[in-house]
Chains A and B, each alone.
Chain A
Amino acid sequence: MSVLKTSMRNFFAHKGRMALSAVAVLLSVAFVSGTLVFTDTMNTTFDKLFAVTASDVTVSPTNSDPSDETPDTGRPESLPASLVEKVRKAEGVKDAQGSVASLAVTVVDAQDKNVGPTSGAPTIAVNWSPYELRSVELTAGHEPRGPTDVVVDRDTADKHGLKLGDELRTIAATGDFTTTISGIVDFKVTNPGATVVYFETAAAQRGLLGKEGLFTQVMVDAEPGVTDDALKANVAAALGDGYDLKTAAEAADAGREDVAGFLDVMKYAMLGFAGIAFLVGIFLIVNTFSMLVAQRTREIGLMRAIGSSRKQVNRSVLIEALLLGVVGSVAGVAAGVGLAIGLMELMSSMGMELSTDDLTVKWTTPAVGLALGVLVTVLAAYVPARRAGKVSPMAALRDAGTPADGKAGRVRGAIGLLLTAAGAAALWTATRAAEAGPGSLWLGLGIVLSLLGFVVVGPLLAGGVVRALGVVVLRVFGPVGRMAERNALRNPRRTGATGAALMIGLALVACLSVVGSSMVASATEELDRSVGADFIVQNATGQPVVPQAQAAVEKVPGLDHVTEYKWVDATITDPKGGTFEHGLAATDPTYPQDLRRETVAGRLTDAWGPGAMSVGSDYATEHGVKVGDTLTVAFAHGETVRLKVVAITSDESNVDKGAMYTALSTASEALPADRMPQSALLLASARDGQDAQAYQALKDALAPYPQYKVSNQADYKEDLKDQVGQLLNIVYGLLALAIVVAVLGVVNTLALSVVERTREIGLMRAIGLSRRQLRRMIRLESVVIALFGALLGLGLGMGWGTAAQKLLALEGLGVLEIPWPTILTVFVGSAFVGLFAALVPAFRAGRMNVLNAIASE
C-alpha cells in the first residue's frame, strides 16, 4: 500500500479528531480570507462611487484640504463663479459646472433629531446639478427648484422616516436654514453610508458658503478625444497658478487614500486576530498529531518492522497534515466569504451600507487562505511527524499499555526558564524606559519572549499548578477529584500544550483589560485633578461649535462664564530659526480656571496678556525655548506676529498635552474675521449652587443642535469609561475566537484521553464507579486544565498589562488599575469553559460499555 493510501486511510479513520483540528484551521483561514474579502469589497464600493461621481478634471481652491472634512472656520474654501466661465473657454473643454459641497453641516428633522449617519460617515450638502444624476436617480418628487426645496437620499429618508413635504433644518457655520423635502433620490451605486442633501444652487451658495456667486469646485468634462491629462494641462494653462487640479483618476486615488486609512486599521486589526487564532490553532494541531502518533505507536512500529523507512512514516504523517490543511483551508475560504457577508450586514446595521452586489473575491484571497492554512498545518505537524519517524520497530512488539508518564525534560525546563527570565528582563527594561519608542520595542520583545517561555515551561508548571488547584478546587470532590487531578498530571506535556492554547487568548484579554482600566483610572484621576469647568460642550466626531450654538450656550442663565477654545493653525519660528507647524489654542482668559494646567516655568495666566503666549515643555526642551524668549508666529491666512513666551506648561499630562496658549484677542487681531475658526469646544462653569439648573438649562439650550453633547464632569467620566469599555468589548469579542479554538483543543485532548483510558474506565466502572462519578471525573479534569491555562494566561497578561502601563506612564497613563472583577470573572468563566469542553467526551465515556472497555486490547 502506498504511503498516500495509508495516510488517507488514517485520515478518514480519525475523522472526529481531524474534524476538530480542521475547525481550528477553518476558523483561522476564515478570519484571514473574510478580512480580505471584506476590505476588497469596501474598496470596490468606494472605487465605483468615485468612478461615477468624478468628472474628467476637478478644479478646487489650492488651500482646500479634502481630508479635512470640516474646515475650522466651518466654511469650505471657495472659488468665484467667474472662474467657471474661464474654464469653459479653455481648449478641449466640453462643459464645466460649478459645484457647491460642504461637509461642515448638520441636518436635523422637525423634531431636532440629527438625520446624519451614526457610523462616522459624513453628512454632505451639495447643490443640485446635472452632474449628480451620474450617481443618483430622482425616484420621488422633483428636483430642488427654489430656496425652500431640498432633496434627500433614499437610505436616509428610510432610516429616519422622512417623506416628501417634511421639513429639514440645515445647521451650517453661516446660520440655520429650513427647507422642505421636494424629492428623494436613489443611488445607482452603493452609497456606503453618507447622508446627502441637495439644494438649488443659489440656496446652497447662500446657506453653505454665506453668499451667492461662489463655488467650492469646478467640474470639467473633456471634448471627445481629449485625454484627462491633456484637459488638466489646458485648464491649468487657462487658469494660471493658485488652483488645485485633479484628473478623475487622481481624484479617485485621493478619495481612496482617505478611505484607505480607515480600512487599513480595520484590516490589520482583524488580521492580527486571525494571527492569534492561527497561533492557538497551531497548539491544537501539534497536540492532535502528537496524540495520534502516540496512539498509533504500535501500528507505526509494525510498519517499521515490516520495512517502512523513517522517511516514509514521517511523510505519511505529513501527508495527513496536508490533507487536514487543504480540507480546513478550503472550508475556511468559503466560511470567510460568509464571514465577510456577515460583517457587511453588521456594518449595515451600524449605518454603513454595503451591498453584496459589490462582493469582491480576488483570486489572491483563496490563494492566500489556502497557502497559509496548509503551510501552518504542515509546519505544526512537523514535530509530531518527526517523532513518529523515530518510533523503533521494537515498539510493535512491546506491550503499549498506557503511555508512560511523560516526564518533561530538564533541558526543556532550562530553556523555558531562560526565555521567561529574558522576557521578564525585557519587560522590566520597558518599564524603566525613558522614551516610549525604544520602550515599546522592549515591551514587544518581553511579551514574545515571556509567552514563548511560558509555552515551553508550561508542562513543568502543570505539575505544581494542577496540584495547587487540586487542593483548592478538587479535594472537595473526594476520590473522583483526586483521580481527575492525577489524570491531568499524567501527561504534563499534553496538559501544558492544551492549557497553553487557552493561555494565549486569556493573556491578551488580561493585558488589555489592565491597560483599559488603567486608561480609565488615569484619565479620571487626571480629570479630577485638572478639570475645573463644570460643563463641556463638544461634538463626538470633533466638529467645531457653530456660532449660533455658541450663542445659545452663552445665553444660558446661571452660568458664571463660558470659555471658547479655538484652534488656530500657525507656523512658529523660534529665536534660533527652527520652525514648527502647529496650532495655537486661542481661548478666553477664564481658561486656566476651567482647566488647571501645571507649569514648569512662568505663570500661565500671563499668557492671556497682550503679545504673550505659552508653550509646552516638550517643545521648549526640543527647541531650547525659555520663558522671556520671543517667537515668530505666522497665522495661516493671517498676519505674522511676535509673541513672548511667558509660561511653559508641563507635558506630563493627557489633557491638552503640548498646547500653546494665547488670548483670543491676540489671535483675532492677527486674523481677518472670516478666517477666525469656530470654537473646537466650549467649557462652562455654573454660578455657585446652580449646577443642576445650569446643566438642565444647557441641555435645553442645545436641544436644537443635537450634534453637540453637553456633559458635566460625572457624565463625562462615565462616557469615557463607556467608550473604553466598548472598545474593549470589541477586542474581547474578537479574542473569543482564539478561545473557541482553545476550547476545541481541550475537547480534543479529553476525547483522546477517554479513548486512551478505555480499559481504565472499564475497570473503574467494574469496581463500582457510577456513570455520574465517571462523567464528573472527566469534567473535573477538563476544568483543571482550563483553570491551569487561565491561571497562567491571566498571570502573564497582568504582567504584560502592568509593564505596558508603566511604559505608557510616559504618555500620561499614570495610574495602574488591575480590574480584579474582570480577572476573577474570566478565571471563573474559564472553569465553565472547561465544563463545556468536557460535555461530549464525558458523555461518551459514560456511554462506554463496561465489558467492551475491559476487553479492549
Chain B
Amino acid sequence: MVKAYGSGETRVVALDSVDVDIARGRFTAIMGPSGSGKSTLMHCLAGLDTVTSGQIFLDETEITGLKDKKLTQLRRDRIGFIFQAFNLLPTLSAIENITLPMDIAGRKPDAEWLRRVVDTVGLSERLKHRPNELSGGQQQRVAVARALAARPEIIFGDEPTGNLDSRAGAEVLGFLRTSVDELGQTIVMVTHDPVAASYADRVLYLADGRIVDEMERPTADAVLDRMKDFDARGRTS
C-alpha cells in the first residue's frame, strides 16, 4: 500500500509500497525511527486512516474503501486499541471503560471471559475506580483489559508503554505476551523501545516509509544492535 500526503512538489510519501502480512495469534512489533511511518502504518492497518493506493484485508474483509459507518463497526467489533496515553474516559470507572466497546455495540460482555481478563491484568480490586485514581501503569492495564475484553481479532498498540517507567512497562508488556500465549490473541505494537520489541514474536523495521528488515524471535540486544546498524547506515548514506 501507499500513503502520500499532498501532491506535486509538496507530495510527501509516508508509506512507500509497503506490503505486510500480520500472522494470526502472534505478537508483531513495528520499529523504526521517528518519522519512519510506523504510526501511519498502524493507523492504516487499524482502519483509522485511509491509504492512497493499495488494499488492506482483515481476515477476509477488505477495509480499504469501507465507509465510515462500516469502518466504525469494524473497529468496534473486531479491533482493539491501546494508545500511548489518554486511553480512558475520565468520567467512566475502570470496569465501565473496559466494557465500553461492547456497551457501545449493545452487546453483553461474556462474564466468564471478562473475569479472566480482569484477573489476568490484576485489576479486580480497582474496578470501581476512576482513571484519575489509578497509577499510569494501572491505567494502561485497564486499556489492555479493554482491548482484550471484547475478544477482537486483532489488537493495535501505539507505544503502549511509552509513558511508563520500566517496571510498569514490563508488567504491561508481560500481559500482552501472556494474552498471545494463553489467549491466542493477535497483537501489533508500534514502538521504538528495543526492550519492548523483544517481547514480540517478530519485529518489522520501518525506515522512510519502507519495510527494510525483519527479525524473528528477537532479543533486546539483537534489536538494539540492528537499530545501531540502521542508524550507522543512515548516517553514512
Give chain A's interface residues, CB within 8 Å of chain B.
Answer: 401-402, 404, 478-480, 482-483, 486-487, 489-490, 759-760, 763-771, 773, 850-851, 854
Contact = CB atoms under 8 A, between A and B. Distances in A.
Contact of B75 (A404, A490, A768, A851): A768
B69 interface: yes
A264 to B, nearest CB: 53
Contacts of A478: 103, 106
Interface in B1-59: 43, 46, 48-49
B43 A851 contact: yes
Given A402-B90, A769-B104, 9 more contacts: A479-B103, A483-B89, A759-B86, A760-B86, A764-B89, A768-B101, A768-B105, A771-B69, A851-B43
Contacts of B100: 479, 764, 767
Given A763-B86, A763-B89, A766-B75, A851 B104 contact: no
Nearest to A855: B39
Contacts of B72: 765, 768-771
Contacts of A759: 86
A770 B73 contact: yes
B165 interface: no
A397 B146 CA distance: 31
B68 A771 contact: yes
B92 A486 contact: yes
Contact of A486 (B49, B80, B91, B101): B91
Interface string B94-126: 001000110111100000000000000000000
Contacts of A763: 83, 86-87, 89
A768 B104 contact: yes
Contacts of B87: 763
Contacts of B80: 767
Nearest to A767: B101
Contacts of B89: 483, 760, 763-764
A854 B83 contact: yes
21 contacts: A404-B132, A483-B91, A483-B92, A759-B86, A763-B83, A764-B104, A765-B72, A766-B46, A766-B48, A767-B75, A767-B76, A767-B80, A767-B81, A768-B75, A768-B77, A768-B101, A769-B72, A770-B72, A850-B48, A851-B43, A854-B83
- Residue of A480, A771, A854 with most chain B CB atoms under a 10 A cut-off: A854
A773 B104 contact: yes
B103 to A, nearest CB: 4
Contacts of B69: 770-771
Nearest to A488: B91
A413 B164 CA distance: 40
Contacts of B105: 768
A479 B90 contact: no
Contacts of A487: 91
A851 B73 contact: no
Q: How large is the interface on B (under 10, 10 to 19, 20 to 34, 35 or more residues)?
A: 20 to 34
B140 to A, nearest CB: 14
B49 A851 contact: yes
Contacts of A773: 104
A769 B91 CA distance: 16
Given A767-B101, A767-B146, A490 B49 contact: no
Contacts of A765: 72
Contacts of A482: 96
Mostly, the B contact residues are: helix
- Residue of B69, B83, B104 with most chain A CB atoms under a 10 A cut-off: B104
Contacts of B68: 771
Interface of B: 43, 46, 48-49, 68-69, 72-73, 75-77, 80-81, 83, 86-87, 89-92, 96, 100-101, 103-106, 132, 146
Nearest to B88: A763
A482 B104 CA distance: 11
Contacts of B83: 763, 766, 854
B52 to A, nearest CB: 15
B224 to A, nearest CB: 28
A774 to B, nearest CB: 10
A402 B80 CA distance: 24
Nearest to B91: A486
- Residue of A479, A768, A773 with most chain B CB atoms under a 10 A cut-off: A768
Nearest to A490: B91
A701 B91 CA distance: 75
B104 A479 contact: yes
A505 to B, nearest CB: 29
A124 to B, nearest CB: 70
A766 B81 contact: yes
A771 B67 CA distance: 12
A463 to B, nearest CB: 13
Nearest to A403: B90
Contacts of B132: 404
A768 B79 CA distance: 9
A295 B72 CA distance: 30
A768 B72 CA distance: 5
A90 B177 CA distance: 120
A761 B69 CA distance: 16
Nearest to B49: A851
A488 to B, nearest CB: 10
Contacts of B92: 483, 486
Contacts of B76: 767-770
Contacts of B43: 851
Closest 9 CB pairs of A and B: A768-B76, A486-B91, A479-B103, A770-B72, A768-B75, A767-B101, A759-B86, A768-B101, A769-B104
B4 to A, nearest CB: 15
A767 B91 CA distance: 16
A766 B155 CA distance: 12
A483 B72 CA distance: 18
Contacts of A769: 72, 76, 104
A768 B91 contact: no
Nearest to A487: B91
Nearest to B89: A760
- Residue of B81, B83, B86, B101 with most chain A CB atoms under a 10 A cut-off: B86
A851 B44 CA distance: 10
Contacts of B146: 767
Contacts of B101: 767-768
Contacts of B49: 851
A153 to B, nearest CB: 68
A404 B77 CA distance: 32
Contacts of B73: 768, 770
Contacts of A760: 86, 89-90
Contacts of A480: 104
A760 B92 CA distance: 12
A474 to B, nearest CB: 13
A833 B72 CA distance: 30
A639 to B, nearest CB: 86
B82 to A, nearest CB: 10
A372 B49 CA distance: 51
Nearest to A764: B89
Contacts of B106: 478
A770 B89 CA distance: 16
B66 to A, nearest CB: 13
A480 B76 CA distance: 14
Contacts of A768: 72-73, 75-77, 101, 104-105
A343 B220 CA distance: 80
Contacts of A767: 75-76, 80-81, 100-101, 104, 146
A768 B86 CA distance: 16
B106 to A, nearest CB: 7
B182 to A, nearest CB: 23
Contacts of A490: 90-91
- Residue of A759, A764, A767, A773 with most chain B CB atoms under a 10 A cut-off: A767
A760 B77 CA distance: 19
A766 B77 CA distance: 11
B97 to A, nearest CB: 10
A75 to B, nearest CB: 79
A401 B89 CA distance: 12
B80 to A, nearest CB: 8
